[in-house]
Structure 1
Amino acid sequence: MTLRNTADRWGTISQLLHWLTVLLILIMAVVGLVMVELPKSPRYFWVYDLHKSTGLTVLALVLLRLLWRAYAGAPQPVAGTPRWQERIATVTHWLLYAMVFAVPLSGWLYDSVSGLRPLRWFGLFKLPKLAAPSQELQPLLRDTHEWLFWMLVALVAVHAGAAFYHHLFQRDATLTRMLPGRRDRSAVAPSVTASEIR
């Protein structure tokens, strides 16, 4: 296992960033869906701040992932994959990057125009407002944030479904090369014994 990506699989850093992003998106989604049912209380504001701080972390991670991908590259498509599947996978990957970037950014914009309390990352430091308070833009950005979230959910479902389809039915290395401690089937050469040589 190497830190950088190879032609056959994703490296350790890409895997770490990928699965950490998945975990944080799951936390952000659950907290976001639960907090709308909470009464306005100190607990509500704590949960709300957790949702915003997690979103900001996801935003930073996707920027880091893009920088790392530009530096480390990406594995080649799995051998035998049809060209049309490669194109769909490429488009889906970049749409996922766009959505993972757009969802927390739209939340940051919504928080800015709402004129609420200062936006603090886990209470450690304050982040600037991206726009001036605006009652006219507030419902638009709230709805935009929500719709972008559901678009992200749909893309994640397609992405995960395709990975499991390749793993269970195509039986190729599409999924396993993003898992730690596994080698691609295509990268493993069959062993040759001395008796077979003779």
Structure 2
Amino acid sequence: MRSSTNRYSLTAIALHWLMAALIIAAFLLGLTMVDIPGLTPTKLKYFSWHKWLGVTIFSLACLRVLWRMTHAVPPYADSMPNWQKKASHVSHALMYVLIFAVPLSGYFYSLAAGVPVVYLGVLPLPVFIAPDPELKALLKQVHYAFNVVLLGVFCLHVLAVLKHQFIDRDRTLQRMLP
């Protein structure tokens, strides 16, 4: 589906920037909490917040995909080479996969560790797997690897936007600004 306008809808823009902010916050909180030695009240609080951010990001990702499936995307600049359009499609698809895979891997890592996820401290999420130390170790590495890949794709995304804004000057960034 293609849009006749050169801009994303306000809903798409709001979801994009809200999710970007939440993903950055979850990433930074994750880095902070794992550096706290021992098992302190602060570390436990940060783990809870990190999980809540993950659940929120996953929920918004579901909403974003539904929105994306039912709303047109503005076209790329005519001056953009086809290889860049293809690279954009691939990187966006990878980001969409990762915005689901990162929270899911964290959720299952928590379950494998025997720690259920209770959203906002009041809504217990389903427990699909029993505690499993071997699976816990694997899922910890998977969660970490997914985050590293997401960080890399995110950085490429930002660099591409900056290139289009300041070198190509093709107004790509304006499509996603309110």
> Which TM class, normalised by the smaller chain length?
over 0.9
Where do 5+ consecutive residues of structure 2 fail to align?
none
Offset, 1:131: 1.6
Asked whether the 8 Å contact 1:108–1:130 carries over to 2, the reply is: no
Regions of 4+ moved over 4 Å: none
Offset, 1:164: 0.5
Report SS of the residue matched to 1:129: coil
Offset, 1:73: 2.1
Aligned pairs, how many?
175
RMSD of aligned alpha carbons:
1.1
Deviations 1:73-126 (A, max 9, x none): 21112222111111000111110000111001100010111112x311111311
Q: 166, 177, 182: which is aligned to 2:164? A: 166
* Superposition TM-score, scaled by structure 1 size: 0.85
32 and 6 in structure 1: CA distance in 2 versus 1, 3 angstrom threshold: farther
Higher relative contact order (CA 8 A, sep 6+): 2
* Superposition TM-score, scaled by structure 2 size: 0.95
Where do 5+ consecutive residues of structure 1 fail to align?
181-198
Q: Identity, % of aligned pairs?
A: 35
The match for 2:137 is 139
105 and 133 in structure 1: CA distance in 2 versus 1, 3 angstrom threshold: same
Report SS of the residue matched to 1:21: helix
Matched, 1:28 2:26: yes
The match for 1:115 is 114
Asked whether the 8 Å contact 2:74–2:175 carries over to 1, the reply is: no
CA distance in 2, matches of 1:80, 1:6: 17
